[in-house]
Structure 1
Amino acid sequence: MFCNQCEQTSKGGCINVGVCGKNPDTAALQDLLLYALKGLSFYALEARKAGINPKQADRFICEAVFSTLTNVNFNPEKLQEYIEKTVLFRNQISEQLQGMDKVPAFNDPAANYLAGESLQDLIEEGNRQGLLVDRRAPADIQSLQEILLYGVKGVCAYAYHAALLGQEDEKIYTFVQEAFTRVGSHENDLDFWLNMVLKCGEINLLTMELLDTGNTSAFGHPVPTQVTLGHKAGKAILVSGHDLLDLKHVLEATAGQDINIYTHGEMLPAHGYPELKKYPHFYGHYGRAWQNQQKEFENFPGPILMTTNCLMMPKDSYKDKVFTTGPVSYPGLTHLKTDNLVELVDKALAMSGFQSDEEQGNVMVGFARNSVLGVADKVIAGVKAGVIKHFFLVGGCDGARAGRNYFTELVEKTPADTVILTLGCGKFRFFDKELGAIDGIPRLLDVGQCNDSYSAIQIAAALANAFECGVNDLPLSMILSWYEQKAVAVLLTLLYLGIKNIRLGPTLPAFITPAVLDVLVKHFAIKPVSSADEDLKAILG
């Protein structure tokens, strides 16, 4: 196996077993799935040319790609099912084209791939195929192909969530499929791949906008909300991940059942949505994201629903109470469809729940673009009066590797006349810090999930418009932590928008070669984080 798609990859690429726990067989199946999806993409694009709308295949491709993101799907049987469905969709489209006398002839062997009969056959084929990039190409082109592939993975994750909420755009599906047909080819030069990478950022901006529309249409615009970090006596369910629609289904299924619902990790911002916070049994937030996750999950006295990635593989000691939805699948865990949550509810009723109340403080959420721009006049006045000197966007992913304390230290050391916008699970390094307020505006503003990066972009754009300048001219610094492929997609969006001087950490991606990094430094002034003191001195002077 070879896998270098996450920040915690070992020595430039995991080759024996993933740091995340992914084994070689799972890695081989994921590689083969991407190869098969490349073949399906040829046919989906050809179908469009022939006037056929491959809607089912479009959605399926995004879901299947989502299953290959870090920590989403380690279930060999489920990956086998995805591979077989990929070939089935491809054959169905081929038959439609043949019926129209438009039989395509593709030279790429991926377009003619035939799935092996057994799981072992698939694993062996996956080992032969390897990662979907052209290993014959120069290192810099390989690097750009990997950046594109991982960016597309992030796009597919966001597009999957958006589609569940009824928000789709054919331009997204077309680009994803075009990217798949290109990745792995040994044609085109460096400029072509650079343009494809930036195009991925452009498409991701559209995708995040659709997801934002889906979330706000279904659940309302987030409003500032105080969330308890404690718990109260009673039966309990913990919902982790990102999928707000799954959370709503849980709230609906448990209404009137005397079961309290708690969020974990990236679900914290859900408490700010009016259509979710209206449920009286939607109680509070439990735990963080990475730092103590295994212990938190083990100690939680109720079942846990994992809706998306960014979580470590569950331990055997508590697997019997963990359920999954959507593309998330691990061996030994029960997978649920959210229109039937009977097993989850029954498990909650059978478990002990919390035996007593416990207060552990509160945090504020709900500072998405509507809330922040609602006090924009006050913010702008504060900047003009010198009360607010600088804005920091400290966002992105959390992880288990050492070095992420940098982000906590940086936030703690920011001066009292600065404001910190944060989003993503990286904020769990500092989300409960007491940083005070400036003229009634909290210094620490939780914009939301990593999925809400669109909101942060809109805030920056609105401030730039108010000051009649570009975003790069604002007293705004972006310090981003990355872990997996959605973070790659968001970074590409920022580069597409021309945002400069981004500090990225805790380490730079292993799949970026020195020459490609040099291009990013030259054109975008992107730079690695150093120390909190050094970076603050460089930013603030």
Structure 2
Amino acid sequence: MSMFCFQCQETVGGKGCTKVGVCGKTADLANLQDLMIYTLKGISELGVKADEIGYEMPGLDRFIMSGLFMTITNANFDKERFLKEIKRGLRLREQLRKALQERGVDLRDLKDAATFSVNSDDDIVFKANNDKERVGVLATKDEDIRSLRELITYGLKGMAAYAEHADNLGYNDPEIAKFMRKALAATLDDSLTVEDLINLTMETGEYGVKVMALLDEANTSTYGNPEITEVEIGVRNNPAILISGHDLRDLEDLLEQTKGTGVDVYTHGEMLPAHYYPAFKKYDHFVGNYGNAWWKQKEEFEKFNGPILFTTNCLVPPKESYADRVYTTGSTGYPGFKHIPDREDGKAKDFSEIIEHAKRLPAPTEIESGKIIGGFGHAQVFKLADKVVEAVKSGAIKKFFVMAGCDGRMKQRNYYTEFAKALPKDTVILTAGCAKYKYNKLNLGDINGIPRVLDAGQCNNSYSLALIALKLKEIFNLNDINELPIAYNIAWYEQKAVIVLLALLYLGVKNIHLGPTLPAFLSPNVAKVLVENFGIGTISNVEDDIKMFMEA
């Protein structure tokens, strides 16, 4: 076994990738990512001690966030970048250790993650590949403890992604950063029981709600509340840049720098919901959305013709035919790709190179035409509340289906398209995340003017769906959110979906169905706890599932 990774839904055989990742990462890269997490845990053990005495180290919070984000599925495939960041982390760790020593903090009995030393890149690679008994996922021998530790860690990865997006807009919460350190350090603590870790898992969900609320505040305060918007999916005859990922600050920088250049900007994948924000509508060269979910990028990027900018994860190892047109920034990376450095002192990133590249290339090849509608965040739906309530009371709307989450390559995921098609005409789909690409271009009609697919936005906008549910609970004067006519049939793929799930569980939502398969990192006993306490289930077939949901 040259590696072990089971953090995403597509992991081999529903058990784990042991030779090469389904995502495309090599064993060497997977092991370096494990060492990155291990290093962050060691830093966090010291960070908890710093928190106890009120000592703050500049840059520590951001480093932990970015380090976690880099290890999310399909974010970063660049081994050199991981070597660089691990070395940087070890320097920060030593600075923190010395600062604590100077303040008289007892540093005896630290774990290996907080003390190991390396002298070269070769030493780092050696430890990553040859010390998996301490560094890797399988270092935890007890299956249930391992399951809970990984569930918490994956939740923290999703939390870090959302915290970093908020931080890029100048919004942060020190308490969220403290919790991340506390939780990472706890995964090294062998004294914690299964019950302790279950409690920590629920606390992770609590902070998941907080971080999504923080990001919602950051996005809406900066760019306005999303509003109902028709987004073009055709093309114009101008050179263009395709921007993918989730980071709205990167999009803003790009739009500002492309003004008056003759270069259009299109969104791809999870960047589609940027069109719903009022602040971005002033850019007449912000044309529309090109293509579908992340997993179709190999065929779609080839036809786009212009350069592509990845702001976050959802990067697939490219075809040679377009590899020289791909740029990365932030936590993303790939060997040979041009990487655009982070902004300094709050200044904009420099996108001049990608803009000049775009000018030399032809306009995109059209792959579809028409429009899709979205922008149903919580503020917009609250404006429609009277209309929605009346439709529910009159029986025009019998049930809402939350079909948020992720899309992916597996043929099993066609289930979600067929499910959407087969839903009764008196039901409405609430969605967020790239799962929407399974059905957002279907002609499902409307109910009394309310579209049957209400797209709240990106995966982090799942918070909007929770707020909508809580608002309906208040309006209908219900005691329990689970009394609402809402069913949860959610597709998941990677770790941001994990924090969304934990946040929903913390809010008390029960009977969530996950698909196309349950996470491989849930041991039988941990899965049993989720089933017994929260009614977690999986999918079967469209006909039986619709019957089950409608009768519930």
CA distance in 1, matches of 2:171, 2:207: 14
CA distance in 2, matches of 1:392, 1:54: 45
> Which residue of the other structure, out of 457, 467, 476, is the alignment partner of 2:486?
476
CA distance in 1, matches of 2:524, 2:103: 49
Is 1:464 the equivalent of 2:466?
Answer: no
Residue in 1 aligned with 2:372? Answer: 363
- How do residues 249-288 of structure 1 correspond to structure 2 at under 5 angstroms? 249-288=253-292
- How do residues 153-302 of structure 1 correspond to structure 2 at under 5 angstroms? 153-302=157-306
Q: Name the SS for the 2:46 alignment partner.
A: helix
Quote how far apart the aligned CAs of 1:171 are: 1.6
Q: Is the 8 A contact 2:48 2:185 kept in 1?
A: no
Q: Name the SS for the 1:308 alignment partner.
A: coil
Residue in 2 aligned with 1:329? Answer: 333
Residue in 2 aligned with 1:145? Answer: 149
CA distance in 2, matches of 1:27, 1:444: 38
Is 1:394 the equivalent of 2:403?
Answer: yes
CA distance in 1, matches of 2:505, 2:141: 24
Deviates more, 1:12-21 or 1:49-58: 49-58
Quote how far apart the aligned CAs of 1:138 are: 2.3
Once the two structures are superposed, residues 180-205 of structure 1 have per-residue CA deviations (whole angstroms, 9 ceiling, x without a partner) of 11214322211111111111111111
Q: Name the SS for the 1:395 alignment partner.
A: coil
Once the two structures are superposed, residues 17-58 of structure 1 have per-residue CA deviations (whole angstroms, 9 ceiling, x without a partner) of 000110011011111111111111122222222222124101
Quote how far apart the aligned CAs of 1:91 are: 1.5
Q: Is the 8 A contact 1:508 1:528 kept in 2?
A: yes
Give, as a single letter, the amino acid of the residue that structure 2 aligns with 1:186: D
CA distance in 1, matches of 2:188, 2:349: 39
Aligned CA distance change for structure 1 residues 234 and 383 (closer, same or farther; 3 Å):
same
Quote how far apart the aligned CAs of 1:354 are: 3.8
Is 1:83 the equivalent of 2:92?
Answer: no
Q: Is the 8 A contact 1:229 1:285 kept in 2?
A: yes
Residue in 2 aligned with 1:433? Answer: 442
Deviates more, 1:133-142 or 1:160-169: 133-142
Q: Name the SS for the 2:324 alignment partner.
A: helix
Quote how far apart the aligned CAs of 1:533 are: 0.9
Which segments of 5 or more consecutive residues in structure 1 lack a partner in the other structure? Answer: none
Give, as a single letter, the amino acid of the residue that structure 1 aligns with 2:433: G
Is 1:350 the equivalent of 2:360?
Answer: yes
CA distance in 1, matches of 2:241, 2:232: 15
Residue in 2 aligned with 1:71? Answer: 74
Q: Is the 8 A contact 1:32 1:129 kept in 2?
A: no
Give, as a single letter, the amino acid of the residue that structure 2 aligns with 1:105: R
Task: Among all aligned residue pairs of Structure 1 and Structure 2, give the percentage whose two residues are the same amino acid.
Answer: 45
Q: Name the SS for the 2:456 alignment partner.
A: strand
Aligned length: 539
Once the two structures are superposed, residues 488-529 of structure 1 have per-residue CA deviations (whole angstroms, 9 ceiling, x without a partner) of 111111111121111100011111111111111110111001
Quote how far apart the aligned CAs of 1:134 are: 6.7
CA distance in 1, matches of 2:139, 2:320: 38
Q: Name the SS for the 1:478 alignment partner.
A: strand
Residue in 2 aligned with 1:97? Answer: 100
Question: TM-score, normalization: structure 1?
Answer: 0.97
Quote how far apart the aligned CAs of 1:269 are: 0.6
Quote how far apart the aligned CAs of 1:310 are: 2.2
Quote how far apart the aligned CAs of 1:100 are: 2.7
Is 1:108 the equivalent of 2:106?
Answer: no
> Which residue of the other structure, out of 515, 524, 527, is the alignment partner of 2:534?
524
Once the two structures are superposed, residues 193-225 of structure 1 have per-residue CA deviations (whole angstroms, 9 ceiling, x without a partner) of 111111111111100110111100111100101
Deviates more, 1:88-97 or 1:255-264: 88-97
Q: Is the 8 A contact 1:134 1:186 kept in 2?
A: no
Q: Is the 8 A contact 1:241 1:306 kept in 2?
A: yes
Q: Name the SS for the 1:404 alignment partner.
A: helix
Residue in 2 aligned with 1:488? Answer: 498
> Which residue of the other structure, out of 16, 19, 35, is the alignment partner of 1:16?
19
Residue in 2 aligned with 1:34? Answer: 37
Residue in 2 aligned with 1:117? Answer: 120
Quote how far apart the aligned CAs of 1:132 are: 4.8
Give, as a single letter, the amino acid of the residue that structure 2 aligns with 1:462: K
Quote how far apart the aligned CAs of 1:178 are: 1.2
Give, as a single letter, the amino acid of the residue that structure 1 aligns with 2:203: K
CA distance in 2, matches of 1:115, 1:73: 23
Q: Name the SS for the 2:77 alignment partner.
A: coil
Aligned CA distance change for structure 1 residues 359 and 522 (closer, same or farther; 3 Å):
closer
Q: Is the 8 A contact 2:231 2:289 kept in 1?
A: yes
CA distance in 1, matches of 2:205, 2:297: 31
CA distance in 1, matches of 2:519, 2:246: 24
Once the two structures are superposed, residues 267-313 of structure 1 have per-residue CA deviations (whole angstroms, 9 ceiling, x without a partner) of 11110101112111000110001453201011112100011112322
Residue in 2 aligned with 1:126? Answer: 128
Q: Is the 8 A contact 2:4 2:137 kept in 1?
A: no
> Which residue of the other structure, out of 495, 501, 507, is the alignment partner of 2:511?
501
Give, as a single letter, the amino acid of the residue that structure 2 aligns with 1:23: T
Q: Name the SS for the 1:269 alignment partner.
A: helix
Residue in 1 aligned with 2:345? Answer: none
Deviates more, 1:340-349 or 1:175-184: 175-184
Q: Is the 8 A contact 1:132 1:184 kept in 2?
A: no
Q: Is the 8 A contact 1:75 1:329 kept in 2?
A: yes
CA distance in 2, matches of 1:227, 1:69: 29
Quote how far apart the aligned CAs of 1:110 are: 1.2
CA distance in 2, matches of 1:293, 1:134: 33
CA distance in 1, matches of 2:423, 2:367: 32
CA distance in 1, matches of 2:54, 2:462: 35
Across the aligned residues of Structure 1 and Structure 2, the Cα RMSD in angstroms comes to 1.5
Quote how far apart the aligned CAs of 1:133 are: 4.8
CA distance in 2, matches of 1:116, 1:69: 27
> Which residue of the other structure, out of 453, 461, 466, is the alignment partner of 1:444?
453
CA distance in 2, matches of 1:9, 1:92: 37
Quote how far apart the aligned CAs of 1:317 are: 2.2
Q: Name the SS for the 1:305 alignment partner.
A: strand
Aligned CA distance change for structure 1 residues 70 and 291 (closer, same or farther; 3 Å):
closer
Give, as a single letter, the amino acid of the residue that structure 2 aligns with 1:443: R
Give, as a single letter, the amino acid of the residue that structure 2 aligns with 1:124: F
Question: TM-score, normalization: structure 2?
Answer: 0.95
CA distance in 2, matches of 1:136, 1:383: 49
Is 1:48 the equivalent of 2:57?
Answer: no
Aligned CA distance change for structure 1 residues 358 and 403 (closer, same or farther; 3 Å):
closer
